[in-house]
Amino acid sequence: MRKNRILVAAGVALATLGSVASTNLPAETSLKSVFKNDFHVGAALNHRQAMGQDPKAEAIIAQHFNTISPENLLKWGSVHPQPETFNYKPADAYVALGKKHKQFIVGHTLVWHQQTPNWVFEDGAGKAASKEQLLKRMQDHIAAVAGRYKGQINGWDVVNEALNDDGTLRNSKWYQITGEEYLAKAFEAAQKADPKAELYYNDYNMWKPAKRDGAIKLVKSLQDKGLKVTGIGMQGHWGLEHPSIQQIEESIVKFSALGKVMITELDIDVLPNPSNRQGADIDATFDFDQKYNIYTKGLPNEVQQKLARRYAEIFALFHKHRDKISRVTFWGVTDGDSWLNNWPIKGRTSYPLIFDRNYQPKPALEAIVQAVKKKDS
């Protein structure tokens, strides 16, 4: 019955849309105002946006969002490419932009198995670093990066994607060299670097019961050690039909017992994919095949309507659980910015967000607003 109520609200929203190729929203409509009493709404920024080189995107960011995340510029390979070299210029600009617009600023990510240079895991002679070397390197990195933005970045994805879909720990180089210890040491170092910042565990496919249970076990074990884990980030790399609203809801409810719940990296993939892949493992790439790039001249109205309906029902769910959710962040500002144009196949034309390549709102934006207004009325 709960799911039905959410779907009804979403359906009513779609019925008010009129043409699915345009929206009827007043120009001054703002997502951050619509959800001002519920949770932060934001987007991930790319390098050009963070550096102030995309004024049209910045206009959207200023109008609609009260939180921002960095897509790549604070990942280890970007900000700390060599042992004694730090590239802070893009990150400084990103933080300055968030301050300019009085936004909740997120740092992403301190520890991840991807986009981390090989030297981090090596001893200088090309062999694997020792456990002690790697832990010290990680702690020094966190102290430097999180320490630089102490009091400026409000929350950090401390550890990103440390779990397999079955809930076990990923056999990354972090795990191979240090075992489970790196997880606790990472949160300990982040808390020391900025005691007031919120600290998160972030991962994809968190709607899957086994992975959800693994995340709960992991976060609870850290909290039981007295470590600060403010909440859990559920990456929202979802499709038009899967996962189900019920599956997403079950994880929101269960995660909320441990702290704040964030919906991070939200986008809806409308394109067909090889192997029916799910999630966001960036290693799972495929060669270009035209049959997986079917909307090169624009999104058909029928699919546009499905996307709007999907976003409406998802945000109706978020609104229902606004007492548990603290932040919802889209993974990109416009369709043209989305990583899904190049994953899992490079060169595709993707349409996963609520603003199109011309910086215009898609029907999904109005569907979200109308779904929430209906529930509040």
Active site residues: 161, 265
Of 115, 120, 134, residue with least CA distance to 82: 120
Half-sphere exposure for 336 (CA within 13 Å, toward CB): 11
Could you tell me if 69 and 42 are in contact, meaning their C-beta atoms sit under 8 angstroms apart? yes
CA 358 to chain centre: 23
Q: Which residue has the tokens 């981390």?
A: 116
Q: What is the largest CA-CA distance in the chain?
A: 66
CA–CA distance from 101 to each of 29, 64, 66, 88, 201 (Å)?
A: 17, 11, 8, 20, 26
Could you tell me if 307 and 364 are in contact, meaning their C-beta atoms sit under 8 angstroms apart? yes
Could you tell me if 120 and 134 are in contact, meaning their C-beta atoms sit under 8 angstroms apart? yes
Could you tell me if 270 and 247 are in contact, meaning their C-beta atoms sit under 8 angstroms apart? no
Dig out the tokens for 24 from the structure.
Answer: 């009827």
